[in-house]
Amino acid sequence: MERRIDFSRARQMLCGRCDHRWRVDLDWIDRWEQAKETCPGCGMTCEHEDSPRVTLDSHDPALDDDRVAQFSWYHTSTQADWPTRHFDPAAVLTPETRRMMGGEQRVAAWAARQRAKALHIGTYEAAVHNMLRRIRDQADQRSQFYLYRVRLKPSVVVREGWLVDPSK
Ligand SMILES: [Zn+2]
């Protein structure tokens, strides 16, 4: 099942200081990022560490564990053969980098986090946003990107409830 694709749908905001929740549109977020808007609850601007951030919408049908496998999910990657079964993010690290990272145990933990990130799937909009962010912020300005559409097996095991992604 495809969800309706809407890049400008309203976002749910949550303030880290006063717990105020409210809905905004993308123009608001744009002004917010330029410190032209404040939290309606406590007046905080975007510069603070615990300032309001986009959070999940509890009415989002994708949060319904029983429906997760019915939706199509997306992933953007610079890998032409994603998801590779034997993906080793540490393969490109030189012995010196491995030493600087604090030794093999640290490298293994880092590689596990990278592997988990590489298997992240989301909405079409999130996948495209992620690609644009990588092009903007990271070393992927000249990279070729691939868009993957993922169908989960009906037997997929979904973690109960949901988590707020700290990186968002
Ligand atoms: Zn607030």
Task: For residue range 145-160, list pLDDT tens digits in order.
Answer: 999 999 988 888 887 7
The answer to whether 162 and 63 are in contact (CB under 8 A) is yes
- What is the structure's pLDDT at 159? 78
Spatial distance between the Cα atoms of 163 and 168, rounded to a whole number of angstroms:
11
More confident residue, 144 or 114: 144
- How many Å lie between the centroid of ligand 1 and the Cα of residue 147? 37
4, 20, 109 from 55: Cα distances, Å: 19, 11, 27
- Rounded to the nearest angstrom, the distance between the alpha carbon of 18 and the centre of ligand 1 is 4
Residue with tokens 């992620």: 130
pLDDT of residue 165: 61
Pairwise CA distance, residues 16 & 13, whole Å: 10
Q: Ligand 1 centroid vs 49 CA: distance in angstroms?
A: 12
* pLDDT per residue as tens digits for the range 71-119: 999 999 988 888 887 878 898 899 999 999 999 999 999 998 888 888 8
Digit-coded pLDDT (tens) for 45-56: 888 888 888 887
Domain extents in the chain? 8-59
What's the distance, CA 143 to chain centroid? Answer: 19
Distance 165 CA to ligand 1 centre (A): 20
d(CA 137, CA 144): 15
- The proportion of the chain whose per-residue pLDDT surpasses 90, expressed as a percent, equals 36
**Number of neighbouring beta carbons within 10 Å of residue 32:** 20
For position 168, what pLDDT does the model report?
Answer: 45
- pLDDT at position 164 is 64
Cβ–Cβ under 8 Å, residues 76 and 143: no
